[in-house]
Chain A
């Protein structure tokens, strides 16, 4: 009897370990996470507008229907990307997510303080490899370090009334997210960098 009791106690303790490991592993093994759901709908390193939220559209749960939403699914292994989002009339925000949906950075139009939200997204290694002179000219550009090489950028523009939705979508349609055209030249320069 005592033996059975010990077995159950051991089982429960081991169960605690199983629980902790599985909670920590879940973000890595989940196959229906937002990134996987958006992969068939979006292009890599380009801005894709998502269809407006309505009851028949069940790609992601808890989407705010007052917003026009566009997604840039990025892969930084080919080099940094530049993001430019013109500010819409009401409210515009840009949120950055890692491959496992950690929201590591978000900025809105007011904190950007310009008519166009302009950002450079790169991995930490690419940031360290930036040539020093370039860092000075880039001083007025915001540089964001991505913790993972792949991830999602979500661009949102608010339509305060349903009638303003086309305007919000139009402002997102003018945004861009791409590797700079002169990328090969920059990569050749990189070895002369500060480190």
Chain B
């Protein structure tokens, strides 16, 4: 009787620990094969055949299609450069330089990866439609209320994610540091 109880307890602990760890890694992701530059994180290997098992689990669970290496690479940011979570009620400025690429796009998503509704139907910017300064630099204002210049509306949601995608780019599996891929800065400039 006692042996049976102890076996059952061991199996219960095993189930809770095992499935709990799987759920954690599949929802939050792991640091395996990540490339972090400033506030931006990319997993270039998810676009190849040797994607790690944790990323595969996350991808199939979320129902997404990772961007292939021959196509481009995707960087995600959920915080600004000072690790403050991106808040849709604040003014956030994305500015600076971008890595070499034929095109890039910057898109705003809610936490489930869906686009955020707004009256302008503006969900992101491409490298071609952005208004640039005289020196070729750019500044995108991510805010809930209308702003001059490149305004990316947040719809006032509390938490959002920015995705920066580079297409036809040398940035990828071999990229290690900021010098190979100078990413734009993200700064929270004001909260109501």
Contact = CB atoms under 8 A, between A and B. Distances in A.
A163 to B, nearest CB: 9
Contacts of B66: 101, 103
Contacts of B56: 26-27, 100-102
Interface string B6-28: 10011111111111011001100
B60 A30 contact: yes
Contacts of B109: 61-62
Given A11-B12, A26-B26, A102 B114 contact: no
Given A11-B12, A61-B63, A161 B112 contact: no
A34 B115 contact: no
Interface string A1-22: 0011001101111111111011
B48 interface: yes
Contact of A62 (B16, B48, B71, B163): B163
Given A12-B13, A101-B65, A158-B167, A93 B124 contact: no
A108 B12 contact: no
Task: Give chain B's interface secondary structure class.
Answer: mixed
B152 to A, nearest CB: 12
Interface residues of A, number: 64
Chain B: number of interface residues, binned into ranges? 35 or more
B70 A11 contact: no
Interface string B167-191: 1100000000000000000000000
Given A7-B10, A16-B18, A66-B126, A103 B63 contact: no
A104 B70 CA distance: 10
B13 A161 contact: no
Contact of B22 (A4, A26, A56, A110): A26
Sort A-B residue pairs by CB-CB distance and give the 6 closest, nearest first: A18-B18, A106-B68, A61-B113, A11-B13, A15-B17, A106-B70
Interface of B: 6, 9-19, 21-22, 25-26, 46-49, 51, 53-54, 56-57, 59-72, 74, 102-103, 105, 107, 109, 112-117, 121, 123-124, 126-129, 163, 165, 167-168
Given A152-B65, A159-B126, 13 more contacts: A8-B10, A14-B14, A14-B18, A16-B17, A24-B53, A27-B59, A33-B61, A56-B117, A61-B114, A65-B124, A95-B70, A101-B65, A102-B49
